[in-house]
């Protein structure tokens, strides 16, 4: 009796100790959270800049995600991926991060839905018309969903588009890519809402830059993020240091030495520049009246300056056999009406990014129009990263270039395009040296420093960076009398949307921000797609393997167990 009582007391003591240990472990684990990501691509880990952003939050962040309801498998995965990312945000942001999933159309009648459509559209959130397969024999039905979210901080709101169109991706790949971009999109929205003062960006003028209706979309998009000012180099002693970055869009007249000096000193003092340069002058409208035109050098007088920094834009055009947009061409007459067809125009290449740099990684194709080739210059103090290139089948046509629509009559052969991956956009990083070092009269330097109160530098004291794009059309938008300005990157003849705007915004973010969230764009994961034909043909087989076989194995082992157990006790 005493032994049983002693055993009982020991069991109670052990149970109490175990309970106390479990409680203590839960308290400690709640205070000290540690997550182990064993995936090779670190899919479930936030980037360091995102962690730093979340751990320094001093205001509440409210996130409404409009992905709620029953969706096809791909959108279900996007919904779960969004939940996982926001839960990770909550780990580092704590109670400052609050999120919920809602269906803005749930329980609404048609009139109320129209109101919701308008309210969300005013906030920059647009719906997607999704085709949902009800049954294999019943076909598809239409369903309106919102693959979007709204981030709010202190009454300010920022929309987040979770799903983007990509020319080179299948529907499954688009959804997979959207999952990879969730961290970057939510972190960028939070950063934008938290930023008390916008960084100042100078739009450079003074050399007949093509600023106007053709740049209204990109400038409007930049103005939402930065404080934009137009700086005319001809009417200023330089670009003030209050500007972090300067944006040069397709200048068309020669830069004199004074303007070059102003740009050079801006770089020497730590200013960054995004160059979008059109090297050759051409007029596509003239092809409507005559079948040929000549492209001549603009003579911008920037060659020595860019060469000194580490890159050269060549006076030529890139022709691309493999990746080229079409243009409408009259190929004949049908009665009294012209027969117009879209034919590939090798002078209009588009670049599908292959670089893993955060600016272009996981980004869609970028459209070029009459781009020039680029070469990098050997300079150990400047690192060169090629961001965008032509395809594996391209070539260079040196100036003067005769552009003729008659070329479209003859189908080109791949053998004519032997060069691969011709650079069209290059990132330069390092300590740049001044083009004017040891070239300036000491008397001028004295006046410059004493009278004008300017600090003359012959080299950058710290690491600096700039991006050079060999086509001034990249940031441009088309426009029409009927529709007005179109979006940057929209190609009206095929009604396709290219990633030109995203590319420019990413370039500007990389140049302007000292701490870049673009690191989150570098996430990648191999998408292992299922063979839909095999799924359909072998559906019964794999149902039997996955469901029937486990049940059969359990029954076999159970029968064997009872059989041998029965034999064992029968012998006894």
What's the pLDDT tens digit per position in 384-414? 999 999 999 999 999 888 888 777 777 788 8
pLDDT at 24: 81
Nearest-Å Rg of the Cα atoms of the chain is 31
CATH of 48-193, one of 3.40.30, 3.30.70, 3.30.750, 3.30.420: 3.40.30
What's the pLDDT tens digit per position in 339-357? 788 888 999 999 999 998 9
| pLDDT higher than 90, residue 434 | yes
Question: Do 48-193 and 198-318+353-522 show the same overall fold?
Answer: no
Q: Which residue reads 């202190």 in tokens? A: 154
pLDDT at 121: 87
Among the ranges given (243-247, 280-284, 386-390, 502-506), the one the predictor scored with the smallest mean pLDDT: 280-284
pLDDT at 530: 55
Among the ranges given (11-15, 458-462, 470-474, 531-535), the one the predictor scored with the smallest mean pLDDT: 531-535
- Asked whether the beta carbons of 183 and 53 are under 8 A apart, the reply is no
List all residues 6 or more positions away from 282 whose beta carbon is below 8 Å from its beta carbon: 293, 294, 295, 370, 401, 403
Determine whether 316 is exposed, middle or buried from the number of CB atoms within 10 Å of its CB (0-12, 13-18, 19+).
buried
Neighbour count for residue 13 (Cβ, 10 Å): 10
CA atoms within 13 A on the CB side of 91: 16
- Asked whether the beta carbons of 323 and 352 are under 8 A apart, the reply is yes
pLDDT at 400: 84
For 181-192, the DSSP string reads THHHHHHHHHHH
What's the pLDDT tens digit per position in 213-237? 899 999 999 998 899 999 999 999 9
pTM above 0.85, yes or no: no
Kindly list the domain boundaries of the chain, sorted by start residue.
48-193, 198-318+353-522
What's the pLDDT tens digit per position in 148-157? 999 999 888 9
What's the pLDDT tens digit per position in 189-208? 898 888 778 899 999 999 99
More confident residue, 132 or 385: 385
| pLDDT higher than 80, residue 35 | no
pLDDT mean over 2-18 = 71
Q: Which fold has domain 198-318+353-522?
A: Rossmann fold (3.40.50)
pLDDT at 342: 87
What's the pLDDT tens digit per position in 364-386? 899 999 999 999 998 889 999 99
pLDDT mean over 542-571 = 79
What's the pLDDT tens digit per position in 71-122? 777 788 888 989 999 999 998 988 899 999 988 888 888 888 888 888 888 8
pLDDT at 505: 93
d(CA 269, CA 291): 48
pLDDT at 172: 73
Task: Choose among 152, 71, 142, 144: nearest CA to 113.
Answer: 144
d(CA 13, CA 459): 75
d(CA 110, CA 96): 36
Q: What DSSP element (H or E) covers 448?
A: none
Residue length, the chain?
572
pLDDT at 220: 92
pLDDT at 527: 44
Neighbour count for residue 496 (Cβ, 10 Å): 16
Instruction: Please tell me whether the peptide bond between 400 and the residue prior to it is cis, using omega within 30 degrees of 0.
Output: yes
Average pLDDT value over all residues in the chain: 84
pLDDT at 65: 92
More confident residue, 437 or 569: 437
pLDDT mean over 446-465 = 89
pLDDT at 257: 93
- Asked whether the beta carbons of 78 and 175 are under 8 A apart, the reply is yes
Name the range with the highest mean pLDDT among 322-326, 330-334, 438-442: 322-326
pLDDT at 9: 76
């Amino acid at each position: 009796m005493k032994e049983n009582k002693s055993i009982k007391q020991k069991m109670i003591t052990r149970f109490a100790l175990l309970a106390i240990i479990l409680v203590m472990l839960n308290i400690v684990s709640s205070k000290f959270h540690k997550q182990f990501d064993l995936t090779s691509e670190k899919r479930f880990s936030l980037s360091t800049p995102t962690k730093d952003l979340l751990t320094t939050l001093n205001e509440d962040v409210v996130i409404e995600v409009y992905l709620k309801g029953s969706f096809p498998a791909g959108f279900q995965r996007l919904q779960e991926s969004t939940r996982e990312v926001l839960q990770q945000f909550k780990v580092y942001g704590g109670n400052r991060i609050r999120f919920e999933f809602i269906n803005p159309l749930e329980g609404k009648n048609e009139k109320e839905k129209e109101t919701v459509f308008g309210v969300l559209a005013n906030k920059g959130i647009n719906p997607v018309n999704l085709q949902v397969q009800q049954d294999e024999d019943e076909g598809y039905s239409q369903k309106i969903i919102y693959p979007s979210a709204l981030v709010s901080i202190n009454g300010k709101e920022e929309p987040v588009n979770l799903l983007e169109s990509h020319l080179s991706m299948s529907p499954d790949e688009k959804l997979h890519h959207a999952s990879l971009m969730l961290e970057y999109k939510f972190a960028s929205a939070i950063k934008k809402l938290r930023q008390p003062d916008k960084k100042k960006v100078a739009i450079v003028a003074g050399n007949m830059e093509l600023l106007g209706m053709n740049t209204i979309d990109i400038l409007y998009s930049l103005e939402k993020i930065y404080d934009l000012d137009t700086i005319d180099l001809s009417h200023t002693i330089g670009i003030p240091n209050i500007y972090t970055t300067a944006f040069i869009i397709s200048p068309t007249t020669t830069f004199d030495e004074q303007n070059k000096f102003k740009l050079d000193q801006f770089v020497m003092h730590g200013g960054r520049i995004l160059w979008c340069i059109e090297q050759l002058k051409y007029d596509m409208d003239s092809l409507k009246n005559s079948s040929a035109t000549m492209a001549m050098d603009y003579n911008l007088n920037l060659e020595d300056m860019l060469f000194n920094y580490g890159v050269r834009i060549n006076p030529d055009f890139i022709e691309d056999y493999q990746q080229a947009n079409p243009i409408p061409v009259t190929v004949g007459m049908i009665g009294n009406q012209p027969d117009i067809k879209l034919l590939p125009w090798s002078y209009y290449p588009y670049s599908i990014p292959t670089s893993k740099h955060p600016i272009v990684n996981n980004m869609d194709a970028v459209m070029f129009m009459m781009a020039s080739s680029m070469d990098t210059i050997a300079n150990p103090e400047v690192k060169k990263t090629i961001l965008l290139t032509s395809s594996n089948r391209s070539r260079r046509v040196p100036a003067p270039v005769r552009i003729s629509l008659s070329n479209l009559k003859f189908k080109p052969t791949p053998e004519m395009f032997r060069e691969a991956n011709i650079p069209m956009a290059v990132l330069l990083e390092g300590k740049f040296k001044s083009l004017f070092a040891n070239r300036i009269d000491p008397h001028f330097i004295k006046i410059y420093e004493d009278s004008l109160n300017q600090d003359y530098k012959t080299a950058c004291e710290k690491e600096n960076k700039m991006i050079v794009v060999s086509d001034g059309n990249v940031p441009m938008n088309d426009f029409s009398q009927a529709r007005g300005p179109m979006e940057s990157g929209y190609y009206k003849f095929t009604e396709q949307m290219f990633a030109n705007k995203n590319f420019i915004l990413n370039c500007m973010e990389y140049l302007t921000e000292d701490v870049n969230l673009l690191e989150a764009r570098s996430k990648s994961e191999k998408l292992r797609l299922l063979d839909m034909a095999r799924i359909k043909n072998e559906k019964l087989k794999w149902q039997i393997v996955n469901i029937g076989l486990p049940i059969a194995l359990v029954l076999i082992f159970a029968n064997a167990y009872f059989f041998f157990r029965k034999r064992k006790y029968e012998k006894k």
